Amino acid sequence: MTVLKKAALLLPLAFLGASCGGSDDTPRLARETRMSDPAAQALFNEGLAAQKAGKTKRALKRYRTVTLKYPLFLSAHEAAYRRGKILEADGEPLEAFDAFNDVLTKYPASPYYADAMKRQQTIALNAANGNITESFIGLLKTRVSVKDTAEMLTRVRENAPRAPSAELAQFTLGRLYQKDGGDINSDRAIQAYRELTRDYPDSKYAPNAQLQIGKILLASARKGNQDSANLDRARQAFDDLLIAYPESEEASLAKAELAKLSAGEIKRNFDIAEFYRKKGNLSSAIFYYQETVKRSKSGTLHDQAQSWIKKLSRP
| Per-residue H/E/C for 137-166 | CCCEEEECCHHHHHHHHHHHHHHCCCCHHH
Res 23 pLDDT > 90: no
Q: 87 or 28, which is more confident? A: 87
Beta bridge partners of 133: 143
132 band by pLDDT with thresholds 50, 70 and 90: confident
Given a cut of 70, whether residue 1 has pLDDT beyond it is: no
For residues 183 and 67, the model is more confident at 67
Closest residue by Cα to residue 156 from 108, 192, 119: 119
Residue 138 has φ and ψ, to the nearest 5°, of 70, 5
Give the residues across from 176 on adjacent strands: none
Q: What pLDDT score was predicted for residue 295?
A: 83
Identify which of 221, 219, 128 has the alpha carbon closest to the alpha carbon of residue 180.
128
- Asked whether 149 and 124 are in contact (CB, 8 A), the reply is yes
**17 pLDDT more than 60:** no
Question: What digits encode the pLDDT tens for the residues 244-298?
Answer: 999 999 999 999 999 988 888 888 888 898 999 899 998 998 898 898 888 888 8
What does R_g of the chain's alpha carbons equal in angstroms? Answer: 32
What confidence score (pLDDT) does residue 143 get? Answer: 83
Q: State the pLDDT confidence band at 115, using cuts at 50, 70 and 90.
A: very high
Which of the residue ranges 57-61, 198-202, 309-313 would you say has the lowest mean pLDDT? 309-313
Instruction: Indicate the range of 31-40, 62-71, 94-103, 196-205 predicted with least confidence.
Output: 31-40
pLDDT, position 181: 83
pLDDT digits (tens, 9 = 90+) for 146-169: 999 999 999 999 999 999 999 999
Answer with the residue of higher pLDDT: 15 or 208.
208
Confidence class for position 134, pLDDT limits 50, 70, 90: low
- pLDDT at residue 291, as a whole number: 87
pLDDT tens-digit map of 191-250: 999 999 999 999 999 999 999 999 999 998 877 655 678 888 999 999 999 999 999 999
Greater model confidence, 34 or 193: 193
Cα 74 to Cα 71: distance, rounded to the nearest angstrom = 9
Q: What pLDDT was estimated at residue 2?
A: 43
Q: What is the pLDDT at residue 52? A: 97
How many Å apart are CA 183 and CA 4, to the nearest integer?
75
Is the pLDDT score of 4 beyond 70? no
Three-class SS of the chain: CCHHHHHHHHHHHHHHHHHHHCCCCCCCCHHHCCCCCHHHHHHHHHHHHHHHCCCHHHHHHHHHHHHHHCCCCCCHHHHHHHHHHHHHHCCCHHHHHHHHHHHHHHCCCCCCHHHHHHHHHHHHHHHHCCCCEEEECCCEEEECCHHHHHHHHHHHHHHCCCCHHHHHHHHHHHHHHHHHCCHHHHHHHHHHHHHHHHHCCCCCCHHHHHHHHHHHHHHHHHHCCCCHHHHHHHHHHHHHHHHHCCCCHHHHHHHHHHHHHHHHHHHHHHHHHHHHHHHCCHHHHHHHHHHHHHHCCCCHHHHHHHHHHHHHHCC
User: pTM to 2 decimals?
Assistant: 0.77
- 25 Cβ contact list (under 8 Å, min separation 6): none
31 φ/ψ angles, rounded to the nearest 5 degrees:
-70, -15
Tally of CA atoms within 13 A in the half-sphere of 4 that contains its CB: 0
CA distance 60 to 293: 74
Q: Phi, psi at residue 164, to the nearest 5°? A: -55, -30
